[in-house]
Structure 1
Amino acid sequence: MGGVASSTGSGRALPGTAPLLLEIDLTSAPADPAPGDPLARLAARGRPQRGPLLRALHEAGSDRRVVGLVAKVGGTLPWALAQELRAGVAAFAASGKPTVAWAESFAAGGSDLPAYALASAFDEVWLQPTGEVALLGVAVETTFLRGALDKLGVEPELQGRYEYKNAVDRISRSELTPAHRESLERLSGSLLEGAVADVGAGRGLPVEEVRRLVDTGPRTADEARRAGLVDRLGYRDEVYASVRARVGEDATLLFADRWRPRRRPALPSLPGRSRGHVAVVEVRGGIVSGPSRRGASGPSVGSDTVTADLRAVLDDDSARAVVLHVDSPGGSAVASDTIWRDVCRVRDSGRPVVVSMGSVAASGGYYVACPADVVVALPATLTGSIGVFGGKFVVTDLLERVGLTTGVVEQGARARMFSARRSFTDEERERLDASLDAVYQDFTSRVAEGRGLSREAVEGVARGRVWTGADARTVGLVDELGGLHDAVRIARERADLPDRAPVRPARHVGPLARVGRPRNSEDPRATASPGASALGALAGLAGLTGSAGIAGPDAAAGLDGLARFLGLPAGSELRMPPVALR
């Protein structure tokens, strides 16, 4: 076949230009470094970039130079990411240009269902003849720590609000409670329903047949072809030869995230539409007070950094709308409330605030999202978890077992209330309960106000329960289903901006500028540099055995460092525990 062929006239390359065949490796998650984290950006060099990749999927279909898309698929992908990529593939396929997915196998320990659901959005799916298709459903595995803590001599003294706040259950119990089981059954059910619907739509199969295939897998390559799960069997060279036969032998391969749109002349503003841009503010990682930083348990997002971004929006007249990109399980209740305040200030300034939820936007992550004008989530986003827990770990037995003793001097009846070396008194437990009740009251009030719901309606979906994005929309916690691309579109529409209005980080501090000392707290450099503090987290452990042994901030920081390193609660937390999905 000579020249460039396509199923539609719009798919033909422009005369005198080399046709481009975009390719993607989707066997692992693309890199997604935060704009203000130079270390993360350095570590991501050489890897596919999520932002440019999604842009190419949504926009390259209209580029006359681009003639098709070929992607290697398979492996373990986060559910929400797979859905966001699938929406991008569907957008590209809407151009009528060929989309081909190929896999060596869909058998990554039974965790390939999200990857296969993504593959089903392509118009043709290939599988290596020796591969398998293992669509085995969804399982949720929860590890309970109580038995290990008992053996270590660590006693958790934790309280939660309320029965669905299962972060406490993971630590204080050794099996699922009825509420915990109910929540996990619905989470897994929602994810499987979404995947089955996507596969059925993509492969032209009835939902009942897809569910039967899930319940009777895995399948060999030939069985998968006969069942309609794949179209053809072959190896990489055969896949690419077939694609080139469809789009033209002269097509040049280009990684999709390297694609850039052609420069277009600036169009005059339409009547009634103002110039400006959409500002993006990132809330990624556990929420803590102070600046964003890195620690032994991974990156944390600091309230100082996020609120500085939001203040920069208020000071920039050209920032006409804000997209708050939230991918966080929550964290500090106080830090979450600090961010909430400035989200409200931006909204009250008249700028539309649109939240785009990533894989998780729960507990404190939902707290900061609830005042937005529009909340957008992916169907598999884990959100809600409207509740709080707090308390401490008592390590008296552990210290005795290793031969450590404690000498104490205290001034004040409750100076050691949060010491890890003794239990709460009855009066101290009453004060802890009062504090947690106050935080829960504030949280549910914020949600009721932000979502326009009655307190009774919020109570019905709160109590610490985690929802998928699909179910959260049903119960009123989310407005629309979609990804970051959809959130940006909504922000442009609400701000009356053109479809091509720029999207920019709320503030930018160059590498050289970061070196200088900030002049004051309003200087962008004050919160621009995330600290690499793995050593700091470990140094904080000295609070357990430090020479002074004061049960104050330093000792508390020591327990917090240990708790965060192990993924356990520290202080009053608006945090969702990790959920292991298979």
Structure 2
Amino acid sequence: MDKKPVVLEIDLGLGLQSSDPQDPVSAVRSRNVPRLPTIVSGLRHGAKDDDVVAAVVHITPQLTVWQAEELGRALQAFAAAGKRVIAWTESFGELGPGTVGYYLATAADQIWLQPSGSLGLQGIALNVMTVRGVLDKIGAEPQIGQRHEYKTAAEMYTSTRISEPNREMTGRMCDSVTGQVVSATAAARGIQPDQVTDAIAAAPLSAQQAIDRGLVDRLGYRADVYRAIREEFGRPDDDDVQIRLVFAHRYARSITKEAIRRTRLGRTRRRPIIAVVDVQGAIVTGRGNRQLPFGQPQAGSDHVIAALRAVPQNDQVRGVVLRVDSPGGSYVASDAIRHAVLQVKRSGRPVVASMGALAASGGYFVSMAADQITALPSTLTGSIGVLGGKVVIKETLNKIGIVRETIGDRPATMFSPTRVFEHDEWLRIESWLDTVYDDFTHKAAEDRGLSYDVLEPVARGRVWTGADAKERGLVDDLGGFQDAVIATCRRVGVDLDHVQVQRFPQLPMLARLRPAESSESPAAAVLGGRPPGPLETLTQALGVDSFGLLTVPWRFDFS
């Protein structure tokens, strides 16, 4: 009897995790949530499997722009192999924005929409905010300097309005991503770009209007979608149409298990490794803290450097993908990680940086020394600038009846939050900001092979989308994580199918719980940092993140 045709399912209603969990607790909490890299792997293997005929994607509102681009590229490659892609949703937004979900749907051959649904193809917006008004009300005085006009993370604390440079920069980021959506839609749907912009101006559209404008193919419910799939791809079996539905992430795991089994049986030799090293979250010195119950993780420089230092110790590792999703943070931590990247390169192993949603300021600093930088079109990157200072809270404490005084010599109290900077102290802060900016820009120019006169005008703290950054020489290629892995394989002369792509160093879960023997043990790369303090937990919960000299506002929020 013939095998049933296989249709891979991607149900975004299950959630979507961008990377593997970094500790046992997170692993347990997210055990049923599909990983984006696993889904992409499933699509890649399915494209070469004659039994796999199609993929069906259930699109839900929780998707981010960069996830849509990463998954969309994988679906396009799947379709290019002669497989069918069907996307369906209850609604692209419900009287609200649905642009991101539709952006992903443009990778499909056929788009279904529930008859009662709508198409909120309304372009892209970014939310920015300042908290200076709140600080004024509670008697807090921010004293923060910035280099230069586009380093608007400082503006969040120092200004009661959105500055013109901030408005210009943010507007350009929105226009860049909207332009990507328009281009993708026009190309996929076979219509003109001005027809897409007309649809955006008229949105939200009813389901029938979406059909009439050529943006959706068919109207129906889930049952109708799956009935059509069975009729198109199924094989009759006793008057019933048979297909085999498999989640793409489950399919990928079955392929991985088979590869492991064959290796254990000795049928395949040990394959070379492409090591994946994560820089996820705010960059801090030390090991960082990955136990915060709220907010984003931290990328401790000791943790990242230990992983990079372990690479030359393993002859099986041929190259490194540095996966960066970070708003930046500490200048010295970022510089230390960049130095470790250079050390890996000196060992003869290429390093390719793969930028996720955000790789700006310190996130760009750690990436810029890589042999190649790959970013998604919507990645927010650049922000080559610096900020620093403090918030004085003496009056705030007085208002609530707390008396606090820092006692010591004048130099020892310079950074006390209970007194303002004296004039000469502020001049020293300004001088330090100039020094850091000069170091950042000159190293960026050197790493990117640009003259300083070309690099500096596109620095000045300005955030660029990946598409705009490529035009200005700040990144090399547009693509996702899979593209970065392929680029690394190409540099070392191996085929993707003949390597192991793994987070590095790869340690069993129990080994992660044991103490490391030294700072150079592989286990040192997975050691957790200190537990969070009460103030740190509170500020993360309130959405007021601490920052280092190289930071962009973490809470850029595309909608």
- C-alpha separation in 2, matches of 1:510 and 1:531: 19
Distance 1:427 1:152, change over 3 A: same
Show the counterpart of 1:579.
556
Distance 1:204 1:51, change over 3 A: same
Show the counterpart of 1:256.
248
Show the counterpart of 1:516.
514
Alignment of 1:168-567 (within 5 A): 168-248=154-234, 249-260=241-252, 261=255, 276-294=272-290, 295=292, 296-410=294-408, 412-500=409-497, 501-531=499-529, 533=531, 536-538=532-534, 562=539, 566-567=543-544
Return the TM-score normalized by structure 1: 0.89
Show the counterpart of 2:137.
151
- C-alpha separation in 2, matches of 1:155 and 1:206: 52
- C-alpha separation in 1, matches of 2:524 and 2:449: 36
Structure 1 position 540, deviation (Å): 6.4
Alignment of 1:75-90 (within 5 A): 75-90=61-76
Contact 1:35 1:505 in 2 (8 A): no
Show the counterpart of 1:546.
none
Alignment of 1:5-84 (within 5 A): 16-27=2-13, 29-34=15-20, 36-84=22-70
Structure 1 position 570, deviation (Å): 4.1
AA matched with 1:426? H
DSSP 3-state at the match of 1:390: strand
Distance 1:19 1:75, change over 3 A: same
Question: 1:535-577: CA deviations, max 9, x gaps?
Answer: x321669xxxxxxxxxxxxxxxxxxx84896434445343444
Contact 2:281 2:299 in 1 (8 A): yes
Show the counterpart of 2:267.
none
Aligned length: 539
Contact 2:127 2:557 in 1 (8 A): yes
- C-alpha separation in 1, matches of 2:272 and 2:391: 51
Of 463-472 and 398-407, more deviation after overlay is shown by 398-407
- C-alpha separation in 2, matches of 1:565 and 1:287: 20
Return the TM-score normalized by structure 2: 0.92
- C-alpha separation in 1, matches of 2:519 and 2:382: 33
- C-alpha separation in 2, matches of 1:55 and 1:527: 25
- C-alpha separation in 2, matches of 1:507 and 1:431: 42
- C-alpha separation in 2, matches of 1:485 and 1:180: 33
Distance 1:570 1:383, change over 3 A: closer
Structure 2 residue ranges without an equivalent (≥5): 235-240, 264-269
Distance 1:540 1:375, change over 3 A: closer
Structure 1 position 135, deviation (Å): 0.8
Distance 1:467 1:29, change over 3 A: farther
Distance 1:99 1:403, change over 3 A: same
Question: 1:163-222: CA deviations, max 9, x gaps?
Answer: 000011121111121211110111010010000011111111111100110011111111
AA matched with 1:538? P
Of 78-87 and 105-114, more deviation after overlay is shown by 105-114
Structure 1 position 407, deviation (Å): 4.1
Question: 1:272-301: CA deviations, max 9, x gaps?
Answer: xx9622111111111111114222533111
AA matched with 2:403? T
Structure 1 position 458, deviation (Å): 1.2
DSSP 3-state at the match of 2:129: coil
- C-alpha separation in 1, matches of 2:333 and 2:353: 18
Alignment of 1:103 with 2:89, yes or no, is yes
AA matched with 1:200? A
Distance 1:275 1:238, change over 3 A: closer
Structure 1 position 19, deviation (Å): 2.4
Contact 2:334 2:363 in 1 (8 A): yes
- C-alpha separation in 1, matches of 2:162 and 2:405: 39
Contact 1:200 1:210 in 2 (8 A): yes
Structure 1 position 350, deviation (Å): 1.6
AA matched with 2:382? G
Question: 1:84-118: CA deviations, max 9, x gaps?
Answer: 11111111111222211111001156331111011
Of 249-258 and 501-510, more deviation after overlay is shown by 501-510
Contact 2:375 2:478 in 1 (8 A): yes
- C-alpha separation in 2, matches of 1:28 and 1:44: 11
AA matched with 1:207? P
Show the counterpart of 1:553.
none
Contact 2:310 2:520 in 1 (8 A): no
Contact 2:47 2:81 in 1 (8 A): yes
Distance 1:571 1:199, change over 3 A: closer
Show the counterpart of 1:4.
none
Contact 1:328 1:360 in 2 (8 A): yes
Contact 1:275 1:497 in 2 (8 A): no
Contact 1:292 1:527 in 2 (8 A): no
Of 139-148 and 22-31, more deviation after overlay is shown by 22-31
| Root-mean-square deviation over aligned CA pairs | 2.1
Structure 1 residue ranges without an equivalent (≥5): 1-14, 267-273, 542-560
Contact 2:169 2:463 in 1 (8 A): yes
Question: 1:125-178: CA deviations, max 9, x gaps?
Answer: 111110001111122221111111111111111001100000111211111212
- C-alpha separation in 1, matches of 2:175 and 2:535: 43
Of 207-216 and 167-176, more deviation after overlay is shown by 167-176
AA matched with 1:574? T
DSSP 3-state at the match of 2:438: helix
Of 390-399 and 104-113, more deviation after overlay is shown by 104-113
Distance 1:187 1:564, change over 3 A: same
Structure 1 position 519, deviation (Å): 2.1
Structure 1 position 578, deviation (Å): 2.3
Structure 1 position 234, deviation (Å): 0.7
Contact 1:28 1:75 in 2 (8 A): no
- C-alpha separation in 2, matches of 1:420 and 1:231: 60
AA matched with 1:349? S
AA matched with 1:255? F
> Alignment identity in percent?
40
Distance 1:459 1:122, change over 3 A: same
Question: 1:363-397: CA deviations, max 9, x gaps?
Answer: 00000000011100000000000111111010111
AA matched with 1:381? T
Structure 1 position 42, deviation (Å): 1.9
Show the counterpart of 1:3.
none
Contact 1:70 1:101 in 2 (8 A): yes
Contact 1:28 1:77 in 2 (8 A): no
Question: 1:242-277: CA deviations, max 9, x gaps?
Answer: 0110110211111111113495889xxxxxxx9622
- C-alpha separation in 2, matches of 1:29 and 1:532: 29
Distance 1:397 1:192, change over 3 A: same
Contact 2:274 2:317 in 1 (8 A): yes
Contact 2:405 2:418 in 1 (8 A): no
AA matched with 1:340? R
- C-alpha separation in 1, matches of 2:411 and 2:281: 33
AA matched with 2:248? A
DSSP 3-state at the match of 1:358: strand
Of 440-449 and 21-30, more deviation after overlay is shown by 21-30
